[in-house]
Amino acid sequence: MHLLRADRLSRRASVAGMRELSDEDIERHLDKSAWRREGEEIVRDLDFRDFAAAIAFVNRVAEVAETADHHPDILVHGWNRVRLRVTSHSAGALTEQDFDLASTIDRLDE
């Protein structure tokens, strides 16, 4: 069953124009990055001065995610913390699209 599922996911990734990244590609992308790998996701934690600033950032992330048609999982916790998780759900793996979105999000935090 796992082989069939992997084959379906691989075909979906190919159809969508996404190529699953190798571990080496992923490590290269993460080098000197605020993001870290957790399984088949990249994750970033951010702290803000207050709740309003955290929500304002989440709203900016939502805008770029809608434009890119690629949506991270977003968790607002505590009163000023945000955790972002990015993966290509349709590919079942990390793709270039994930790191493009992460780079765009990084520019929002500058």
Per domain, the residue ranges of the chain are 2-108
Please determine, for residue 12, whether its predicted confidence score (pLDDT) is greater than 70: no
Q: How confident is the model at residue 5, as a pLDDT?
A: 41
pLDDT band at residue 11 using 50, 70 and 90 as cut-offs: very low
Reduced to 3 states (helix: H, G, I; strand: E, B; else coil), residue 41 is strand
User: Is residue 37 within a helix (H) or strand (E), and if so which, with residue range?
Assistant: strand 36-38
Q: Report whether pLDDT(110) > 90.
A: no
Residue 15 has what pLDDT?
40
* Superfamily covering domain 2-108: Transcriptional coactivator/pterin dehydratase (3.30.1360.20)
Strand-pair partners of 44? 84
> For the residues 55-73, what does the mean pLDDT come to?
97
Confidence bin at 90 (pLDDT 50/70/90)? confident
What confidence score (pLDDT) does residue 42 get?
Answer: 98
